Chains A and B, each alone.
Chain A
Amino acid sequence: MTATTKMNGIAAFNKALHIAMEKDPKVLVLGEDVADREGGGVVGFTKGLSTTFGDDRVKSTPIAEQSIIGAAIGAAIGGYKPVAEIMLMNFTTVAMDMIHNHAAKLRFMSGGQTSVPMVITTLTGAGAQTAGQHADHLEAWFAHAAGIKVVAPATPADYIGLTLSAIDDPDPVMIVMSMMTLFGPMEVPDDQGPIPLGKANVLAEGSDVTIIAYSSTVLTAFQAMPKLAEAGISAELIDLRTVSPWDRETVLESVRKTGRAVIIHEAVKEHGVGAEIAAVINEELFGELKAPVRRLGAPSCPVPFAKVLETAFLVSVDELVETVTATVK
């Protein structure tokens, strides 16, 4: 039996950074408030790093997102592996040119002469009443851009495994950290190693329907599973882990078996990641489907403040149970 330690997503991510920085002196961390002098990040993602690895490798930056990502790109081209924190995902919009036009494209535009092995970490998610400009799930924007990978961990163990792989990846990777995935402690193997990017995790096997989730909605789906079982529905639960490139093989194999699929994400449903997955399932498995592929996501409105509205904005466990039940019937 592997020894385990109980920790939350924040501690797990922090552990991954310690492991990566210890292993490779080329790994750097930069972002607003990341050094210990500034408290090691607003939620403590980077606590202890500057004390252990020095202020040269762990640099607090001004509130200047373009310059953060630009510095990370230049350092990456210059032979380093920077992990750049953009405090909240809505602030990536301020650095969109650097992320989309530069980080994601320099390898291609240079014909492979330069590469940008950097990681962008960013926190988001509804549930903490931060409202319109602090909680958007924008992963579809980046999944739509060629040249950048998008990872969305759901559990503390995955935070370690996916972060280690992201740092080792030769290309830019964005890690989307959803609020709801960060604070609940779970057992994590002490020797948790890298988890490959682009591979989904089958969390529960089932025969009637496939639920495809990632990030915070994995937790929603987890809570729905006993209710579905009670209703006599055998659901297979897949955590995508990586949003782009997503694991078509695992998803298609599962839906081929169950004949039904429900995709759930926290992001706005319209033009979201679920649309892409649903389209591919339809293209590949049209004749084999027993029911239309269903998607669940937020309505096309900004994340609201009032608790009652914020709760309604998110897909609830009951809504998921209802949709899955309707799909199976």
Chain B
Amino acid sequence: MSAGGNRMTPNPEQQVDIYRRMVRIERNDDAIRQTIKRGRLQMPYYSARGQEVIPSAISAQLNPDDTICTIYRGIHDMVAKDMPLRPLWAEIAGRVDGTCKGKGGPMHLTHPESGVMVTTGIVGSSMPIANGLGWAMKLDGSKRVSIAYFGDGASNIGAFHEALNLASLWKLPVIFVCQNNRFAEHTRYENGTSVDQISKRAAGYGMPGYTVDGNDPSEMYAHAYEAIERARSGEGPTLLECMTFRFLGHVFGDDDKYMTKEEKAEAMEKDPLPAFRARLIADGHATEEQLAEIEKKITDEVADARDWALEREFPSTDELKRDVFEAEIA
């Protein structure tokens, strides 16, 4: 199924904004990997390098009070949602100035001011909770939207099916965004998923489902626009299957032998970042200098966040007793 009717295309300013978000994700990802490599950061890291377009094209159309529920491979979703980088870095470094005082870490970041409500380490569980946020938004009478990010592997867990059914039944303002990077951990798509397109599953739940080129900013923008409009106007949820490819293994440092050299090379050749950069210049939406300036600013922002975070204190062990319940535990 493809989006019909009038396609909403991002204007030049929005395109540059999408690019800015993509660069912020890529630089941040690069810095995290470098910092781990140098032994200055110890964390399990699930890189989303290659998947920059999806949350960038979506977030360019969201307000701060629209929410996202994302997963352990979700730092790109948070960065795209304008989470400030200093507390993000402090959190992944386990410092007290992190968004969660160092108690959540890279797989459990939360930052309500940016709309990042839940980051989960359990495959598929972002979706039932995103429904609840959507239900609250509906009860509030607001026009906010709730985004659930997940991977292709998550579409095989029961929670996906339960959540789509409920969201459709209750006409919730939820957008289910599957970032189909073609691998569920180490398992190739076709070895774990019974349909050739996850979007086809939407039909089983009475909602529109689209398979989108998740590496094409304009196409991604247009489909997100339609889904967001649908949600805001009370018409209910949409499933977007966004085709992409992760450049790296499941977890940083893993032996990605389950990917072929050819497919990796092909994906990297189609790296959405330089491709979009070239297109912005070719279309006359930005100059080389303008983009270089944006990139420089982001590189500095990321370096600042990293340096700042690594200087922060670790949490005191008293934190073990706090936030289990509202009242401190004995």
Contacts and interface: CB of A to CB of B under 8 A. Distances in A.
Do the two chains bind?
yes
B163 A70 contact: yes
Contact of B132 (A56, A73, A111, A149): A73
A111 B165 contact: no
B324 interface: yes
B282 interface: no
B104 A67 contact: no
B169 A62 contact: yes
Interface stretch (A8-16, A98-106, A158-166, A212-220): A98-106
A101 B125 contact: yes
A71 B324 contact: no
Contacts of B137: 78
B209 interface: no
Contact of B110 (A56, A101, A109): A109
Contact of B326 (A62, A66, A109, A115): A115
A66 to B, nearest CB: 5
A230 B240 CA distance: 72
Nearest to A108: B323
A147 B69 CA distance: 21
A62 B165 contact: yes
A73 to B, nearest CB: 5
B125 A114 contact: no
Nearest to A95: B128
Contact of A112 (B117, B158, B322): B322
Contacts of A75: 132-133, 135-136, 139
B263 interface: no
Contacts of A80: 136, 139
A110 B108 contact: yes
B262 to A, nearest CB: 37
B329 to A, nearest CB: 8
B49 to A, nearest CB: 25
A64 interface: yes
B101 A111 contact: yes
Given A62-B162, A113-B110, A170-B325, 18 more contacts: A66-B158, A67-B159, A70-B162, A74-B134, A77-B118, A77-B132, A97-B122, A97-B159, A98-B128, A101-B121, A102-B122, A107-B323, A109-B100, A111-B100, A111-B323, A112-B101, A114-B112, A170-B326
